[in-house]
C-alpha cells in the first residue's frame, strides 16, 4: 500500500494496516514532521478516540489518553460583551489535546519518507505507481491520497471534487497557561470550546490544552523510547472574521509578521469585553499565523478503484463543527479494517460507501455551524462527475 501524506488520516491508516499485517509505506512532501504550522488544539470526540483505540498499540493509545485534557462537556457561546448567549451541552467523550502531540504519537514506529512531493500516478491491471518530484516512484496495489486539502491525488482522481473558500479567515494564536493567564478565565471556560461572537459575526474562540500529568512522566511510564516535544499547557485562541471584515487579502496576511497579525486581531475585537483584548495581548506572538477557511463540496459516490482518499483530501471542512480531525482518524481506521477483511476492490468500495456518507454529513454540519455562528458562505451545488 502507498500512502501519500503523513497527516492524521494517513498515519491512522498506516497503524491500522500494520496491526493487520498489511505492508505499507508513507510518503510526505514536508522535509520533517514539524515543518509547517498546522494549528494547535484538537478536540477528540468518541469517534476519534475509538479510531485511535482501533489502530494504535495499547500503550500508544494509553499515552494519547494520558496527554489529553478532560474538557468540561459543553461549548459556551458569549456575545462580544461576555454575556452568555447559550451553552451547548454534550456528555460524550471530550478530549482537548495538542495536535502535534497526537501526530508525534501517530508517527512513533512508522517509517515515513520525507521530502517526497507527489506529482501523479499511473494505474494498470496489476497495481498503481506513484511518481514524485525527485524522479523516484513507488509501486503498490493501492494508492491512498492522505495529502490534505490541496491533494494532488484528488485533483487527478476526482477532478470534479471542488474545494472552495468559506468566506472566512482565522488568525490562530496560543496563550501559555500560567497562574496569571489562568486567572483571565472563569472555571466554566475550561470547556470543549468557548467563543465570543460580535455583531458582524467576528469571533474570538478559545479552548484549553491542559495535560493531566507531566508529559515526560507519561512517556516514561508508557512508551519510554518516545520523547514528546510539547509539554506546556496553553489556551488556544483564534480570532476569525469574514474576509471583508478582516480588511486584508490572503496574500497580505501571509506577508505580515506575527506582531502585525496580532494588531489585526486586536482591531477586530476593539470595543469588546476586556477579556477579548487580554487574550490577544497574551498570545505567544511568534506562534501566530493566519489560516483561510476552505471546505470541500459534497459529491456523489464514485466507482471504486486502486486509488482512494482519506481525511481533508476528500472531505475538508470548516472548523465550526470540530469534526475534521476525528473524521480523518475514523477514515484511517475504517479503511484499514475493510482492507483486513475483504478483497481489495470490495474493501475500497465498502470504505468509500461508508466514508462518503459520514464524511460529507460532517462537511454539511460544519458548514451549517459556520454559517450560523461565523457567517460562512453556503455550500455550492456540486459539479457532476
Say if strands 112-113 and 25-27 run parallel, antiparallel, or are unpaired: parallel
Q: Rounded to an integer, what distance in angstroms lies between the CA atom of residue 154 and that of residue 344?
A: 20
Q: Calculate mean pLDDT across residues 221-225.
A: 96
pLDDT at position 326: 96
Total domains in the fold of the chain: 1
Cell of 377: 458562505
Domain housing 329: 2-374
Find the DSSP H helices in the chain: 8-19, 46-55, 58-66, 99-107, 152-157, 179-182, 215-222, 243-246, 250-255, 258-268, 274-281, 312-315, 324-341, 344-374
pLDDT in tens, 130-142: 999 999 999 999 9
Q: Sheet harboring 41-44: ordered strands across?
A: 41-44, 95-98, 69-70
Residue 167 lies in a domain: yes
> Does residue 227 belong to any structural domain of this protein?
yes
pLDDT of residue 186: 96
pLDDT at residue 384, as a whole number: 64
Select the more confidently predicted residue: 36 or 170.
Answer: 170
Structural contact between residues 220 and 248, judged by C-beta atoms closer than 8 angstroms:
no
Choose among 304, 20, 301, 30: nearest CA to 142.
304
Sequence-distant contacts of 57-60: CB under 8 A, at least 24 apart:
57/15, 57/19, 57/109, 59/222, 59/223, 60/15, 60/105, 60/108, 60/109, 60/222, 60/223
Judge whether 6 and 34 are in contact, CB under 8 Å.
Answer: no
Per-residue model confidence (pLDDT) at position 57: 96
**383 falls within a domain:** no
According to DSSP, the β-strands at 72-79 and 84-89 are antiparallel
| Within-domain flag for 199 | yes
Arithmetic mean of pLDDT, 242-262: 97
CATH code for position 195: 3.50.50.60
Q: In this structure, what C-alpha cell is assigned to residue 28?
A: 510526505
3-class SS at 251?
A: helix
Q: How many CB atoms lie within 10 A of CB 378?
A: 11
- pLDDT confidence of residue 174: 94
Separation in Å, CA 249 to CA 115, 166, 227, 243 = 30, 14, 39, 7
Alpha carbons 357 and 91: distance in angstroms, whole number:
24
The neighbouring-strand residues paired with 164 are 295
Q: How far lies 134's CA from each of 114, 131, 244, in Å?
A: 11, 9, 40
Rounded Cα distance between 161 and 312, Å, is: 12
Q: 40: pLDDT confidence band, cut at 50, 70 and 90?
A: confident
Look at residue 269 in the predicted model and tell me its pLDDT. 98
Question: How far is the C-alpha of 154 from the C-alpha of 161, rounded, in Å?
Answer: 8
Using the predicted structure, report yes or no on whether residue 38 has a pLDDT greater than 70. Answer: no
What is the percentage of the chain residues whose pLDDT exceeds 90?
89
User: How far, in Å, CA of 216 to CA of 222, rounded?
Assistant: 10
Residue 385 located in a structural domain: no
Position 381 in a domain? no
- Report pLDDT for 383: 66
- The pTM for the full model equals 0.95
pLDDT tens, residue by residue, 54-80:
999 999 999 999 999 988 999 999 999
> For the ranges 94-103, 289-298, 357-366, which has the lowest average pLDDT?
94-103
In a domain, 67, yes or no: yes
Instruction: Establish if 319 belongs to a structural domain.
Output: yes
What confidence tier does 362 reach under pLDDT thresholds 50, 70, 90? very high
pLDDT band at 37 (very low <50, low <70, confident <90, very high): low
Cα–Cα distance between 347 and 352 in angstroms, integer? 9
Amino acid at each position: 500500500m502507498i500512502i501519500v501524506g503523513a497527516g492524521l488520516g494517513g498515519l491512522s491508516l498506516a497503524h491500522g494496516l500494520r496491526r493487520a499485517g498489511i505492508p505499507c509505506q508513507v510518503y510526505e512532501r514536508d522535509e520533517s514532521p514539524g515543518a509547517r504550522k498546522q494549528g494547535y488544539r484538537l478536540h477528540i470526540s468518541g469517534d476519534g478516540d475509538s479510531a485511535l483505540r482501533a489502530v494504535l498499540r495499547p500503550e500508544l493509545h494509553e499515552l494519547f489518553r494520558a496527554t489529553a485534557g478532560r474538557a468540561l462537556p459543553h461549548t459556551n457561546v458569549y456575545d462580544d460583551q461576555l454575556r452568555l448567549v447559550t451553552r451547548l451541552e454534550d456528555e460524550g467523550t471530550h478530549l482537548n489535546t495538542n495536535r502535534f502531540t497526537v501526530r508525534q504519537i501517530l508517527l512513533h514506529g512508522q517509517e515515513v519518507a520525507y521530502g517526497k512531493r507527489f506529482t501523479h500516478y499511473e494505474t494498470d491491471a496489476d497495481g498503481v505507481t506513484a511518481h514524485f518530484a525527485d524522479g523516484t516512484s513507488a509501486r503498490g496495489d493501492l494508492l491512498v491520497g492522505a495529502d490534505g486539502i490541496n491533494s494532488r491525488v484528488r485533483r487527478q482522481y476526482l477532478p470534479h471534487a471542488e474545494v472552495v473558500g468559506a468566506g472566512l479567515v482565522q488568525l490562530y494564536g496560543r496563550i501559555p497557561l500560567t497562574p496569571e493567564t489562568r486567572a483571565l478565565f472563569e472555571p466554566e471556560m475550561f470547556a470543549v470550546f468557548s467563543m465570543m461572537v460580535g455583531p458582524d459575526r467576528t469571533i474570538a474562540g478559545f479552548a484549553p490544552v491542559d495535560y493531566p500529568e507531566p508529559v515526560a512522566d507519561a512517556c516514561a511510564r508508557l512508551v519510554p523510547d518516545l520523547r514528546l516535544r510539547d509539554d506546556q499547557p496553553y489556551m488556544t485562541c483564534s480570532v476569525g472574521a469574514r474576509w471583508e471584515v478582516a480588511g486584508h487579502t490572503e496574500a497580505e496576511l501571509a506577508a505580515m509578521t506575527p506582531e502585525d497579525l496580532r494588531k489585526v486581531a486586536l482591531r477586530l475585537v476593539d470595543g469588546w469585553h476586556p477579556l477579548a483584548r487580554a487574550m490577544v495581548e497574551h498570545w505567544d506572538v511568534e506562534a501566530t499565523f493566519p489560516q483561510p477557511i476552505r471546505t470541500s463540496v459534497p459529491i456523489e459516490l464514485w466507482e471504486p478503484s486502486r486509488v482512494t482518499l482519506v481525511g481533508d483530501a476528500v472531505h475538508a471542512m470548516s472548523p465550526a463543527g470540530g469534526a475534521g480531525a476525528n473524521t480523518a482518524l475514523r477514515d484511517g481506521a475504517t479503511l484499514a479494517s475493510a482492507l483486513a477483511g475483504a478483497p481489495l476492490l470490495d474493501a475500497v468500495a465498502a470504505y468509500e460507501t461508508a466514508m462518503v456518507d459520514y464524511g460529507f454529513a460532517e462537511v454539511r454540519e460544519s458548514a451549517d455551524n459556520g454559517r450560523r455562528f461565523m457567517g460562512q458562505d453556503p455550500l455550492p451545488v456540486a459539479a457532476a462527475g
